Amino acid sequence: MSATSARPEFEHGLKVVPVKHWGRWALSAVVVFLVLQFVWSLAVNPQWQWDVFAEYFFAPSVLNALVLTLQLTVISGVIGFVLGAVLAVFRLSKSPLLNAAAWWYIWFFRSVPLVVQILVWYNLGYLYPTLGLGTPFTTDFWLVEFPTTTLISAFAAATIGLSLHQAAYSAEIIRAGILSVDQGQLEAAAALGLPRRIRFFRITLPQAARAIVPNAFNEVIGLVKGTSVVFIVALPELFYTVQVIYNRNQRVIPMLLVAVVWYAIITTVLSIAQFYVERRYARGAVRELPPTPIQKARRWASEQWARLGDGGPEQGGGADAAGGAPGSTRPPEERAPGERHADAASAPLVAATRGGADAERADAASALVSTADHHRNGGTR
């Protein structure tokens, strides 16, 4: 069937009208109205006291508290994920003892509230006045001995509590990521004689990371906000510091806004890092990598320029004008390798049939592809 007979509706001059999504436009209008109403209330309501917010946002005490919050997050996160990786290996171990020990650890620390764990570590001196090394199963600390209150400070109690609590959740995240890898690949690698170390670092870990990374970043973001719990031991992190300030100046709302905005900034930075790390590990797993915000902006600008038609790329051919493969909507560097090869193989056909209404050019392109296949197969008819 020729290209002319394949689309008779265009020959009769029928006009294709895009579908109008009235419900989508109505909901969008409602959302825009609510956002504008909220922004307006922020701007005109004097009770927000933005001058107080600006005064304390970069105050030295607040910045010192922010540094302490980041220290707690980094130290607890690293210890938690390292210990979680060990627990995940134990949970996957064939040893009943290691498997049971890891299971009980995860069950216990997920059952006890975080604030209770921190309080127990902070008051550990009540249970054990001294800690040391000596004869097992006795209190004879002949090698070394320390008072518990000296050894475990408020910072140490907060770090231990956050780390052990985080390890329980990290273990399940890592274990789930490892289990998500197809076992057939591991069996095939073992059949080829690949060592277990190479199988783990070259096959299991890269694929497991795709499932681990999103949940791991969510845990880190939750850990940032979870550090606010340590105010219970009077550790001057961000939330405790703004509490002290608003108890002194009675400016509760603007001081809480200071903490909220700093938490939002940290969360935003972590979310951006999560996007690029996920994009890095998605290579080879998806046909199209998710575009970055800059690429989205460039694509939108290119589409708007094409619609204007003032010397810009023709409508429907913007990808080719931007250096993309024929039929592509994105430039080549944003496309997966297999996708670029497929587009390169079909380039003569797409280039010959562009326009759609010319049947002779379409037939010539088909003949060209058939001849190329014939020569590639190395035979004659």
Q: What pLDDT score was predicted for residue 330?
A: 52
Q: What is the rounded distance in angstroms from the CA atom of residue 91 to the CA atom of residue 99?
A: 5
Cα 85 to its chain centre, rounded Å, is: 19
Torsion, Cα 33 37 38 40, to 10 degrees, reads 140
Between 277-281, 284-288, 302-306, the lowest mean confidence (pLDDT) is in 284-288
Task: Look over the chain and give the mean of its residue pLDDT values, rounded to a whole number.
Answer: 81
CA angle 128, 131, 133 (to 5 degrees): 140
Q: What pLDDT score was predicted for residue 327?
A: 44
Identify which of 211-220, 275-284, 310-319 has the greatest average pLDDT.
211-220
Q: What is the rounded distance in angstroms from the CA atom of residue 208 to the CA atom of residue 166?
A: 19
Of 76, 101, 77, 74, the C-alpha closest to 90 is 101
Cα 315 to its chain centre, rounded Å, is: 35
pLDDT band of residue 294 (cuts 50, 70, 90) is confident
Residues 158/233, Cβ–Cβ less than 8 Å? yes
**Residue 162 CB neighbour total at 10 angstroms:** 26
Of 241, 263, 226, the C-alpha closest to 118 is 226
Q: Give tens-digit pLDDT for 329-380.
A: 455 555 554 444 444 444 444 444 444 445 555 555 555 545 555 544 554 4
Which of 103 and 9 is assigned the larger pLDDT?
103
pLDDT band of residue 109 (cuts 50, 70, 90) is very high
User: Rg of the chain's alpha carbons, rounded to an integer?
Assistant: 31
- Kindly report the backbone phi and psi dihedral angles of residue 145, in degrees, each rounded to the nearest multiple of 5, phi listed first: -150, 135
Q: What pLDDT score was predicted for residue 6?
A: 47
| Annotated domain spans of the chain | 53-281, 292-377
Q: What pLDDT score was predicted for residue 297?
A: 84
Q: What pLDDT score was predicted for residue 181?
A: 87
- Please state the three-class secondary structure of the chain as a single string: CCHHHHCHHHHCCCCCCCCCCHHHHHHHHHHHHHHHHHHHHHHHCHHHCHHHHHHHHCCHHHHHHHHHHHHHHHHHHHHHHHHHHHHHHHHCCCCHHHHHHHHHHHHHHHHCCHHHHHHHHHCHHHHCCEEEECCCCCCCCCCEEEEHHHHCCHHHHHHHHHHHHHHHHHHHHHHHHHHCCCHHHHHHHHHCCCCHHHHHHHHHHHHHHHHHHHHHHHHHHHHHHHHHHHHHHCCCCHHHHHHHHHHHHCCHHHHHHHHHHHHHHHHHHHHHHHHHHHHHHCCCCCCECCCCHHHHHHHHHHHHHHHHCCCCCCCCCHHHHCCCCCCCCCCHHHECHHHHHHHHHCHHHHHHHCCCCCHHHHHHHHHHHHHHHHHHHCCCC
Which of 285 and 59 is assigned the larger pLDDT?
59
Q: Give tens-digit pLDDT for 248-258.
A: 998 999 999 99
Task: Reply yes or no on whether the pLDDT at 16 is more than 90.
Answer: no
Q: What is the rounded distance in angstroms from the CA atom of residue 119 to the CA atom of residue 10?
A: 76
Which of 37 and 290 is assigned the larger pLDDT?
37
Q: Of how many residues is the chain composed?
A: 381
Q: What pLDDT score was predicted for residue 320?
A: 44
Q: Give tens-digit pLDDT for 295-321.
A: 888 888 888 888 787 544 444 444 444
Task: Reply yes or no on whether the pLDDT at 26 is more than 80.
Answer: yes
Task: Reply yes or no on whether the pLDDT at 101 is more than 50.
Answer: yes
Which of 370 and 182 is assigned the larger pLDDT?
182
Percent residues over pLDDT 90 in the chain: 45
Which of 240 and 357 is assigned the larger pLDDT?
240
Task: Reply yes or no on whether the pLDDT at 7 is more than 70.
Answer: no
- List Cα–Cα distances, 171 to 118, 153, 216, 274, in angstroms: 20, 27, 10, 19
Between 25-29, 64-68, 91-95, 298-302, the lowest mean confidence (pLDDT) is in 298-302
Residue 138 φ/ψ region, left for φ over 0, alpha for ψ in the -120 to 50 degree band, beta for the rest: beta
Q: What pLDDT score was predicted for residue 352?
A: 42
Between 78-82, 105-109, 291-295, 311-315, the lowest mean confidence (pLDDT) is in 311-315
pTM score: 0.70
Question: Which residue, chain included where needed, has tokens 């030295």?
Answer: 60
Which of 361 and 279 is assigned the larger pLDDT?
279
Q: What pLDDT score was predicted for residue 377?
A: 53
How would CATH label the architecture of 53-281?
Answer: Orthogonal Bundle (1.10)
Of 58, 39, 100, 4, the C-alpha closest to 258 is 58
Q: Give tens-digit pLDDT for 130-172.
A: 888 877 877 777 677 888 888 889 999 999 999 999 999 999 9
Residues 87/171, Cβ–Cβ less than 8 Å? yes
What one-letter code names the amino acid at 131?
Answer: L
Query: If you average pLDDT over residues 275-302, what whole number do you get?
Result: 81
Q: What pLDDT score was predicted for residue 364?
A: 53
Q: What is the rounded distance in angstroms from the CA atom of residue 217 to the CA atom of residue 212?
A: 9
pLDDT band of residue 288 (cuts 50, 70, 90) is confident
